Structure 1
Amino acid sequence: MLGMVVDATGSGMFLPLSLLYFHHVTDLPLTRVGTIMTAAAVLALLSNPAAGVLIDRFGARAVLVGGYLLRAVGFCAYPLVDGGYAMFGVLLLVGLGDVSFPPAVQSFVAEIARGTERDTLLAAQRSLRNAGLGVGGLVASGLLALGSDSAYTVIVLVVSAGYVSAALLIRTIGTGSGAASAAGRPPVPGSGFRTVMRNRPFMGLTALNVPTAFGYMVLSVSLPVYITRELDASHSLVGVLYAVNTVCIALLQIPVTRFLVRYRRTRAVALGAVVFAGSFGGFALLGVLSNGTTLIVGVFVATAAFTAGELMHGATASALVAQAAPEATRGRHMAVYQLSWAVPIALAPAVLTALLTLSPTGMWLLLAAGVTVSAVGMVRLEPRLPAHAVRPDAPAPARTADPAGAPAGSAVPAPTAPPGRSAGGKRRVRV
Structure 2
Amino acid sequence: MRGFWGALPVEGRWLLSTVAIQTLGRGLTLPFTIIYLHEVRGFDLGLSGALMSLIAIVGLVVTGPGGTLIDRFGARKILLAGLACMIAGCTLLAYATHPAVAAVALVLIGVNFGVSWPGFNALIAAVVEGDLRQQYFGVNFALVNLGIGIGGIIGGFYVDVDSPETFTVIFLVDAISCLIPVALLLGPLRHVRTQSEPSDDAATGVGYRQILRQPAVLWLTLLTFLAMFIGYGQMEAGFPAYARQVAEVSTRVIGLSFAVNTAVIVLLQFAVLARISGRRRTRVMWVMALVWAGSWLILGAAGLLPDTLAAAIGVLAFMGVFAFGETLLQPTVPAIYNDLASDHNRGRYNAINSAAFQGGAIAGPIAAGLLLDQGLSVLYIAVMVAGCLGIGVLAAALERRIPASANGVREHEPEPVSGSEPASEPVDD
Normalising by structure 1, we get a TM-score of 0.83
> 1:46-65 to 2 correspondence within 5 Å?
46-65=61-80
Aligned to 1:207: 222
Question: Cα 1:177–1:52, aligned 2, differ >3 Å: closer, same or farther?
Answer: closer
Aligned to 1:329: 345
Q: Is the 8 A contact 1:219 1:242 kept in 2?
A: no
**Shift in Å at residue 85 of structure 1?**
2.1
Q: Is the 8 A contact 1:270 1:378 kept in 2?
A: yes
> 1:283-322 to 2 correspondence within 5 Å?
283-289=299-305, 292-322=308-338
Where in structure 1 are there 5+ consecutive unaligned residues?
396-408, 412-431
User: Secondary structure of the residue that 2:18 maps to in structure 1?
Assistant: helix
Residues 1-28 of structure 1, C-alpha deviations (whole Å, 9 max, x = no match): 2332232101011112212333466543
Equivalent position amino acid for 2:354 in 1: Q
Q: Is the 8 A contact 2:204 2:344 kept in 1?
A: no
Does structure 1 residue 372 correspond to structure 2 residue 372? no
User: Secondary structure of the residue that 1:16 maps to in structure 2?
Assistant: coil
Question: Cα 1:188–1:309, aligned 2, differ >3 Å: closer, same or farther?
Answer: same
**Shift in Å at residue 345 of structure 1?**
1.1
> 1-side partners of 2:337 and 2:201: how far apart?
24
Where in structure 2 are there 5+ consecutive unaligned residues?
1-15, 413-423
> 1:171-250 to 2 correspondence within 5 Å?
171-174=186-189, 179=194, 181=196, 188-216=203-231, 217-250=233-266
Residues 71-122 of structure 1, C-alpha deviations (whole Å, 9 max, x = no match): 0122223345342222222221111011111111222111111112111111
Does structure 1 residue 2 correspond to structure 2 residue 17? yes
> 1:342-361 to 2 correspondence within 5 Å?
342-356=358-372, 357-361=374-378
RMSD: 2.9
Q: Is the 8 A contact 2:94 2:169 kept in 1?
A: no
Equivalent position amino acid for 2:147 in 1: G
Equivalent position amino acid for 2:288 in 1: G
> 1-side partners of 2:306 and 2:49: how far apart?
37
**Shift in Å at residue 220 of structure 1?**
2.8
2:180 counterpart (133, 140, 165): 165
Question: Cα 1:238–1:80, aligned 2, differ >3 Å: closer, same or farther?
Answer: closer
**Shift in Å at residue 276 of structure 1?**
0.9
Q: Is the 8 A contact 1:40 1:88 kept in 2?
A: no
> 1-side partners of 2:83 and 2:409: how far apart?
30
Question: Cα 1:267–1:327, aligned 2, differ >3 Å: closer, same or farther?
Answer: farther
Instruction: Name the stretch that deviates more: 358-367 or 170-179.
Output: 170-179
Question: Cα 1:282–1:183, aligned 2, differ >3 Å: closer, same or farther?
Answer: farther
Q: Is the 8 A contact 1:208 1:378 kept in 2?
A: yes
> 2-side partners of 1:20 and 1:309: how far apart?
29
User: Secondary structure of the residue that 1:328 maps to in structure 2?
Assistant: coil
Aligned to 2:293: 277
Instruction: Name the stretch that deviates more: 24-33 or 12-21.
Output: 24-33
Equivalent position amino acid for 1:164 in 2: L
Instruction: Name the stretch that deviates more: 284-293 or 217-226.
Output: 284-293
> 1-side partners of 2:88 and 2:190: how far apart?
26
Question: Cα 1:184–1:100, aligned 2, differ >3 Å: closer, same or farther?
Answer: farther
Normalising by structure 2, we get a TM-score of 0.84
Equivalent position amino acid for 2:69 in 1: L
Question: Cα 1:267–1:358, aligned 2, differ >3 Å: closer, same or farther?
Answer: same
2:407 counterpart (357, 370, 390): 390
Equivalent position amino acid for 2:347 in 1: G
Equivalent position amino acid for 1:245 in 2: N
> 1-side partners of 2:101 and 2:18: how far apart?
29
> 2-side partners of 1:300 and 1:123: how far apart?
23
2:283 counterpart (267, 279, 291): 267
**Shift in Å at residue 50 of structure 1?**
0.8
Question: Cα 1:247–1:182, aligned 2, differ >3 Å: closer, same or farther?
Answer: farther
Aligned to 2:134: 119
Question: Cα 1:354–1:148, aligned 2, differ >3 Å: closer, same or farther?
Answer: closer
Question: Cα 1:151–1:379, aligned 2, differ >3 Å: closer, same or farther?
Answer: same
**Shift in Å at residue 394 of structure 1?**
4.2
Aligned to 1:31: 46
> 2-side partners of 1:182 and 1:9: how far apart?
36
